[in-house]
Structure 1
Amino acid sequence: PVFPFPEVPMPHRSLLFDLYTDGVLDAAFLSSFRPEPLGPEAREIVDAFRALSERFPPEELEARGRVPEEALAEMGRIGLFGMSLPREHGGLGLLFGQYLGVVAEMAPVDLALALTSLAHLSIGVQPVVLFGTEEQKARFLGPAARGETIFAYALTEPDVGSDARHIRTSCRLSDDGRHYVLRGQKTYITNANYAGAFTVFAQLEGHRPGHMVALVVERDSEGFTVGRDMAKMGLKASSTAFLRFEDVRVPVENRLGDEGQGFRIAMSVLSYGRLAVCAAGVGLMEASAEAMAKRAASRVQFGGPIGRFELVREKIGRARANAFVGRAMVELAARQLEEDPRANVAVETSHCKLFCTTRAWEALYDAQQVAGGSGYLATNPYEKRLRDFRVATIFEGTTEIHTIYPPLVVARGLGRRLPKRTGGRVGALLSGIFRRLPAFPVTGVGQADRALRLARRKARGFAWRIRAALLRHGKAIAGREFLLRRLTWTSLYGYGLLAGALRLAALARAGGDTAGAA
């Protein structure tokens, strides 16, 4: 067996990866962590989105099966397509954490409408922000911020999903060296029929799999076809379609980064996309907890409100606790990306994606359950939220992928650090098993410090177990999925405890709301 996920060289900082492989912890970064308030500008965007949703109600957009042009134009006017883009290029310049806070507020209102701006900002145009030249930024970001050019991200293909290294769309440099000639197909592309530009990933012909380029393909390019929107279970107002490239000539000026850097660009950008999906999940967990609490107080059965029943209170408490931890995990990963936009947060964002999507789905189910028969009616938001969010456990990496992915990332990192000789490798792994991890921060908040001590034990358990697993299984660890799942959840619980404790301590010191932390 071989590792199913390719190695992606990412020289930038990583919190968990560095802790597990090198025993290094950035205590100063952790100690400085504070939850990011939305701020007045972000609040204005949320209010504007709510007003937009009143003008274009979710049920009407769903019946239409698309967002009308006048709604897209209004989204551009109120800044929904430029929230996180730099001010110098016409955006609002929100910090990434603030942008995610806006996503969390928008998701319960209408996730299908929110997805149009979310997909544009988080993955569509983000490659230009991270890897574009100054000329490319000047050319593309202004129209993107105003909503004049909506972006889409094109990686997935009919026969290739999670195994993105082996996409079949290919390109070659033209004889005159002025264009890339692109051919192939993409599918399930969000914003396809709204977009004026597409960030497309293609294999460079004549090179090994994974040697890719990232190209900005403009909609009016000759030989480029966008299919009809696909009928879907949910998110019906969002656009999802098929793309076909038949010898499309893309100017070399539209290449992002260097030749061969495309796969790295794709993987880096997916971290932003995962966190946006997670933020939506957090918002839906919080909305579900609030809906359950209201229902539990108002619905009377057996002589009293149903909120007195333990099984109902359990559902409310679980949603609140998971929302608190999920928000903390997302905020901590977002802060890493704010400090270093190309930070290697693959493990952290994978943990966020697994936790926030599965726990949000649970909260949505519970909210419908507490609502009883009325929860099954389409006149209430429960069934639409379930349908809209169902895909969240599938795109941006399936639940199954994220259940095994983090230990394999760490295993690859350890493998790069081991001596080539067998004896040396065994010795290095054994010494790592007995290595002490650095101390975690002390916050002075009793409940938070207890959680931090437990987080350190979880991290220690993961660090020695991954080395023991490599000693026993070597590269065959890739096929030991039950073992990988146990390792993933050990690390995830540790990260959740770490993030939750830091958020709790920061809120306690500031006198903020710590509901859900218990």
Structure 2
Amino acid sequence: SIPASSIGVAKRSLAIAREWGAERVQWGVPVGQHAAIAEKIRRIAAHAFAMEAMLIVTSRIVDRDKKADIRLEASMCKLWGTEKAWLCLDDVMQIRGGRGYEDVSSLKARGEKPHPVERLMRDNRVTTIFEGSSEIMRLFIMREALDPHLKIAGVALNSERPWGERLKSAWAAAKFYTLWYPAQWLPFNGSAPADMHPHLAKHFNRVAALSRKLARTLFHQMVKFGVKLEKRQVLLGRLADIGADLFAIAASCVFAQKLLRDGEPEAKIFALVDDFAAQAHLRIAQNFTGVGNNSDQHGYDLAQEIIAGEHMWLERGIL
């Protein structure tokens, strides 16, 4: 499957980056000791770990129940995995420099190890397009997330429906949300499995808290935009990315717990989980901020002007 192949790409990128980071010397030290390159190597490693965790967790759900509904999990594996695999390739290409552009025959001819970075990039860019483009995957994820709300309150929010139907729907929605909405604010003690290591449970419980924040945020946007929310594709994309990152952190905790049971050293596993969670939380915070502070409408209007030919002057100057 594409998510599985994306893991392979990330792992191969990591192996190439690790090897080159130790072998290539620049300014008197291996390039992997330079902070700018070390940043890329740790990012590749964290993504490879989380990608594998997401796929393993999703696969185990099906192993336990062949009829399990994993549409959301599978969609997140595809969206998140293909996009992060491309970022891994982008990082390893930058680490390899000009050698990354060389094909294997050229590298062999010069007596160097034939790492196929350029081939990997050519072959894998399409994965964010085939079997559901990233844009479609984000909309599918959010449609699944919105569906329960639309079943409850969709008619009430639809200004084109008769008032009688809207009032009836609003009354049913009010009864449901009177209980549901306050629960999204309550400070639960946590939801980590009882046998999860406390270090991992800390991350897992933070995911639970942020999941409730995501639920509140989605509800707020539904109330604000009503049925027109489906047209706010950039906004929905931010929410989908938050959900995917939260799933990635939670899956990483579950995967890490398995590795600990298998005898892997705690310090090494915790280092990966901590680093990935730190990166993911930065993206999550940025996307939450972007929900209420963005230039989406201005950007959309500008794009329509460009399509209408109002900025063709910008295309001039090409030989």
The alpha-carbon deviation at position 433 of structure 1 amounts to 1.8
* TM-score when normalising by structure 2: 0.71
Residue pair 1:296, 1:305 contacting (<8 A) in 2 also: yes
Question: Which residue pairs with 1:327 in the alignment?
Answer: 52
> Which residue type is aligned with residue 182 of structure 2?
F
1:398 and 2:133 aligned: yes
The alpha-carbon deviation at position 417 of structure 1 amounts to 4.5
1:464-508 Cα offsets, whole Å, 9 max, x none, are: 222222222222110112321222122112211111011112212
The 3-state SS of whatever aligns with 2:183 is coil
The alpha-carbon deviation at position 431 of structure 1 amounts to 3.2
Equivalent-residue separation in structure 2 for 1:311 and 1:341 (angstroms): 45
Could you tell me which runs of 5 or more consecutive residues in structure 1 were left unpaired when the two chains were aligned: 1-275
Question: Which residue pairs with 2:21 in the alignment?
Answer: 296
Counterparts of residues 261-280 of structure 1 (less than 5 Å): 276-280=1-5
Counterparts of residues 165-244 of structure 1 (less than 5 Å): none
* TM-score when normalising by structure 1: 0.45
1:414 and 2:170 aligned: no
Counterparts of residues 95-114 of structure 1 (less than 5 Å): none
Could you tell me which runs of 5 or more consecutive residues in structure 2 were left unpaired when the two chains were aligned: 105-114, 156-167, 275-319
Equivalent-residue separation in structure 2 for 1:480 and 1:291 (angstroms): 40
1:314 and 2:9 aligned: no
Equivalent-residue separation in structure 2 for 1:444 and 1:421 (angstroms): 42
1:13-52 Cα offsets, whole Å, 9 max, x none, are: xxxxxxxxxxxxxxxxxxxxxxxxxxxxxxxxxxxxxxxx
Equivalent-residue separation in structure 2 for 1:512 and 1:468 (angstroms): 43
Inter-CA distance 410–451: structure 2 relative to 1 (3 Å threshold): same
Residue pair 2:152, 2:173 contacting (<8 A) in 1 also: no
Task: Give aligned pairs, total.
Answer: 243
The one of 205, 215, 221 equivalent to 1:453 is 205
Question: Which residue pairs with 2:119 in the alignment?
Answer: 384
Equivalent-residue separation in structure 2 for 1:435 and 1:306 (angstroms): 50
Question: Which residue pairs with 2:164 in the alignment?
Answer: none
Equivalent-residue separation in structure 1 for 2:221 and 2:181 (angstroms): 11
Question: Which residue pairs with 1:149 in the alignment?
Answer: none
Question: Which residue pairs with 1:364 in the alignment?
Answer: 89
Question: Which residue pairs with 1:488 in the alignment?
Answer: 240
The 3-state SS of whatever aligns with 1:516 is helix
The one of 81, 88, 100 equivalent to 1:375 is 100
1:110-129 Cα offsets, whole Å, 9 max, x none, are: xxxxxxxxxxxxxxxxxxxx
Question: Which residue pairs with 2:302 in the alignment?
Answer: none
Residue pair 1:429, 1:471 contacting (<8 A) in 2 also: no
Equivalent-residue separation in structure 1 for 2:210 and 2:137 (angstroms): 18
The one of 462, 466, 469 equivalent to 2:214 is 462
1:197-231 Cα offsets, whole Å, 9 max, x none, are: xxxxxxxxxxxxxxxxxxxxxxxxxxxxxxxxxxx
Equivalent-residue separation in structure 2 for 1:373 and 1:490 (angstroms): 35
The alpha-carbon deviation at position 348 of structure 1 amounts to 1.1
1:479 and 2:231 aligned: yes
> Which residue type is aligned with residue 212 of structure 2?
R
Counterparts of residues 90-169 of structure 1 (less than 5 Å): none
